[in-house]
Copies of this chain bind each other. A is one copy, B any other.
Amino acid sequence: MTTKTYAHESAGSIMATHFLAVPEHYSVKDAIQFLKQHEINGENKYYLYVTDPQNVLKGLLPIRNLVSASDEQTVSDVMQSKVVSVNVNMDREAVAKLMQQHDFISIPVVDDQGVLVGIIDADDVYDVVEEEATEDFHKMAPVGLLKTSLKDATVGLLFRKRVGWLLVLVFMNIFSGAGIAYFEETIEAVVALVFFLPLLIDSGGNAGSQSATLMVRALATGDVKLRDWTRFLGKEVAVASLMGLAMGLAVATIGIFRAGPEVAVVVALTMVVVVLVGSVIGMSLPFALSRLRLDPATASAPLITSIADIAGVLIYFSIATWYLGSVGMM
């Protein structure tokens, strides 16, 4: 019916262009006759669409209504005249959300003049919901948009899509390296501090990537809105404080045996702070990205880890320098 091409990920790009349309003035008998004469191939077997002479969408006629109607009634008597339709340029994800909300099995697609140009069916929504989730998984990997199945992706394509983010993260790590270099004297005085470095910076990153992943998904499904940020901040601080205390206690036990009570105090204190800081960063970044009209899914675990690393290094060695200095260990 049309050979026009529509924007990537628009309603037009996924709609089917085969459907049966009848005029309002048709009698129910005419409509049934029309239906008998036209086989509907595959899709759109459940509705007739009602249009005016300019093909503008006027109503929706469930075939079920034809069965219940009497022959003398007209199409306009039995059609639903309040029809939810979508514009051909609407984003396919928004279309899927709308159909999910209304539990629709199909939705008509119209152009800017209201002309019926196609139909989107349930099976298109299945695909969109799945593909959009896959896109978010890939963003959180983080890899670039593959636009092909993983099975078909070549070595060259995978390299190009993956190396970019990894190099960004390498350059972010220059800052944690610089942080460590700044505290070289502290490390030389108490080398045992290094034993706990991966544990502490990882824990901040892990707590942060938990928060980020929960938020990214909740924002994507609409469970959480942008305006909810302050409410979640309070909850996050409470949860993270509890987690930090539990993890701090756990790590203090290890610390005493491996490096003595002074280092154990430093490690436990650091744990509470890095878990709190990591969680708040992880929880806030998806909101911030969303506010900047960027995709919240950009807040991947590796990105959060790298940010938490920088914060973790500074927090750990600052606390160590202060506390170990005050107890006379350096």
Contact = CB atoms under 8 A, between A and B. Distances in A.
A126 interface: yes
A116 interface: no
A251 B215 CA distance: 32
A155 B242 contact: yes
A103 B129 contact: no
Interface stretch (A83-91, A159-167, A318-326): A159-167
B235 A158 contact: yes
B313 A198 contact: yes
A221 B134 contact: yes
Contacts of A100: 123, 126-127, 130
Interface in A180-228: 180-181, 184, 187-188, 191-192, 194-199, 201-203, 205-207, 209-210, 213-218, 221, 223-224, 228
Interface in A247-262: 247, 250-251, 254, 258
A68 B129 CA distance: 34
A121 to B, nearest CB: 7
Given A67-B32, A149-B218, A155-B235, A187 B181 contact: no
Give the size range of A's interface with the partner: 35 or more
A289 interface: no
23 contacts: A36-B68, A46-B46, A66-B67, A67-B67, A103-B122, A105-B122, A130-B133, A137-B217, A138-B217, A140-B140, A143-B213, A150-B218, A150-B224, A155-B235, A155-B239, A159-B239, A159-B243, A167-B247, A180-B195, A181-B195, A198-B198, A202-B305, A301-B301
Interface of A: 32, 35-36, 40, 42-43, 45-46, 62-64, 66-68, 96, 99-100, 103-105, 121-123, 125-127, 129-130, 133-134, 136-138, 140-143, 149-151, 155, 158-159, 162-163, 165-167, 169-171, 173-174, 176-178, 180-181, 184, 187-188, 191-192, 194-199, 201-203, 205-207, 209-210, 213-218, 221, 223-224, 228, 235, 238-239, 242-243, 246-247, 250-251, 254, 258, 275, 300-302, 305-306, 309, 313
